[in-house]
Structure 1
Amino acid sequence: MAAGSSAVWAAHHHACSGGGRFHHPSPSHSHHHRPRRVLLIPPPPLPARWGVASLARPPRASLVAAAAPAVAVRTASEEAVYEVVLRQAALVKTAAPQRRRTTRREQPRWVEEKEEEEGVVGWGLLGDAYDRCGEVCAEYAKTFYLGTQLMTPERRKAVWAIYVWCRRTDELVDGPNASYITPTALDRWEKRLEDLFEGRPYDMYDAALSDTVSKFPVDIQPFKDMIEGMRLDLWKSRYTTFDELYLYCYYVAGTVGLMTVPVMGIAPDSKASTESVYNAALALGIANQLTNILRDVGEDARRGRIYLPLDELAQAGLTEEDIFRGKVTDKWRRFMKGQIQRARLFFDEAEKGVAHLDSASRWPVLASLWLYRQILDAIEANDYDNFTKRAYVGKAKKLLSLPVAYARAAVAS
Structure 2
Amino acid sequence: MSNTHTPSSQYRQEKSYKHGSSAYYSYLFVSEDKRLVIENLYAFLHEVTDILYITSDSSVARIKLAWWKEEIDKLFHGKAEHPISQALMEAVKTYGLSQQYFLYIIESVEMDLSHNRYLDWTSLKNFCTMQSGAFACLITQVLSDTTETNIRFAQQMGIAVQFANLLRKLGEDAAQGRIYIPMDFLREHQLKAADILNGKYSDEFKAFMQAQGHRAHELFTEAFALYANLNKASKKELRPCIIRAKLSLKLLKAIEKDQWRVLDKGISLSPLSKLFTAAKVWLLG
**Over aligned residues, Cα RMSD in angstroms?**
2.9
TM-score (norm 2): 0.84
Equivalent pair of 1:161/1:212 in contact (CA under 8 Å): no
Task: Say whether residues 1:140 and 2:27 are aligned partners.
Answer: no
Provide the rounded CA distance (Å) in 1 between the counterparts of 2:26 and 2:262.
Answer: 30
Q: Which residue of 2 aligns with 1:163?
A: 42
- In 1: Cα distance, 2:205 partner to 2:274 partner: 29
Structure 2 partner of 1:210: 89
Q: Distance in 1 between matches of 2:197 and 2:14?
A: 36
Residue in 1 aligned with 2:56? 179
Summarize the Cα distance change of 1:153–1:401 in structure 2 as closer, same or farther, 3 Å threshold.
closer
d(CA) in 2 for partners of 1:162 and 1:300?
A: 23
Change (3 A) 1:188 1:332: same
Q: 1:154 offset after TM fit, Å?
A: 4.4
What's 2:218 paired with? 345
In structure 2, distance between residues paired with 1:246 and 1:142 = 29
Q: How many residues align?
A: 277
Alignment partner, residue 332 of structure 1 = 205
Residue identity opposite 2:260 in structure 1: Y
Structure 1 or 2: more helix by fraction: 2
Match of 1:306 among 160, 179, 187: 179
2:160 matched to 1:282?
Answer: no
Contact kept? 1:295, 1:386, Cα under 8 Å: yes
Offset of residue 164 of structure 1: 2.2
Letter in 2 for 1:304: G
Identity %: 25
Task: Report if aligned partners of 1:223, 1:255 keep a CA contact under 8 Å in 2.
Answer: yes
1:247 aligns with 2:120: no
Residue 188 (structure 1) aligned with residue 61 (structure 2): no
Provide the C-alpha distance between the structure 2 equivalents of 1:237 and 1:135, rounded to a whole number of angstroms: 29
Distance verdict in 2 for CA 1:383–1:128, change over 3 Å:
same
Which residue of structure 1 lines up, in the alignment, with residue 265 of structure 2?
Answer: 389
Q: Are the aligned partners of 2:17 and 2:43 in contact in 1 as well (CA < 8 Å)?
A: no
Q: For 1:168 and 1:287, how far apart are their aligned partners in 2?
A: 22
| Structure 2 portions without partners, runs of 5+ | none
CA distance in 1, matches of 2:55, 2:148: 36
| Larger displacement relative to structure 2 (132-141 or 218-227) | 132-141
1:289 shift after superposition: 1.3
Q: Relative contact order (alpha carbons < 8 A, sep ≥ 6): 1 or 2 greater?
A: 1
Cα shift at 1:336: 1.3
Shift of 1:160: 3.0
